[in-house]
Amino acid sequence: MLSEFVKSADWKSEKHVPVIVCADTAAAGAPFDIAVTVGKEIAHPNTTNHHIAWIALHFAPAGAKTAIEIGRCEFSAHGASAEGPDKGPAYTDSTLAIRAKFAVSGTLYATAYCNIHGLWSSEKAIAIA
């Protein structure tokens, strides 16, 4: 199973863990901001040879049997250029920011993919009032 290869850890001590930043509660049907970032406490290098390729965010409503993909972002600028690795003019910071609204409580699940260290995940419960 793929789940055997998904890693998780405390984001304060591991730079690969996607950190979900949003309010713990929201009003039903009211939009609220959600950010997912990799390297919140310990910066991830995001170089040509070592970078976060993408972040995805899913929502699993309480009691549901499936999760819904809320958003996904692919990061393309890692310093590559015709002059060579890490000599380019642009580097992408590994952050996904979206606005969403939910009708019921549930859990947000974030996954991120590092080109060297694989899949990482985290989760956060959201209460909808």
- From the list 40, 51, 58, 114, the catalytic residue is 114
Q: HSE-up of 110 (CA within 13 Å, CB side)?
A: 28
Please say if 78 is a catalytic residue.
no
- From the list 22, 50, 73, 123, the catalytic residue is 50
- From the list 16, 40, 51, 58, the catalytic residue is 16
Q: Of 27, 38, 20, 33, whose CA–CA distance to 113 is shortest?
A: 38
DSSP 91: B
- From the list 40, 44, 51, 58, the catalytic residue is 44
Answer for the pair 38, 15: CB distance below 8 angstroms, yes or no.
yes
- From the list 58, 78, 117, 123, the catalytic residue is 117
Residue 123 φ/ψ, nearest 5 degrees: -145, 160
DSSP 78: B
- From the list 4, 12, 14, 123, the catalytic residue is 14
CA triplet 78, 7, 44: central angle to 5 degrees?
30
Please say if 114 is a catalytic residue.
yes
Please say if 44 is a catalytic residue.
yes
Q: Which residues are catalytic?
A: 14-16, 44, 50, 114, 117
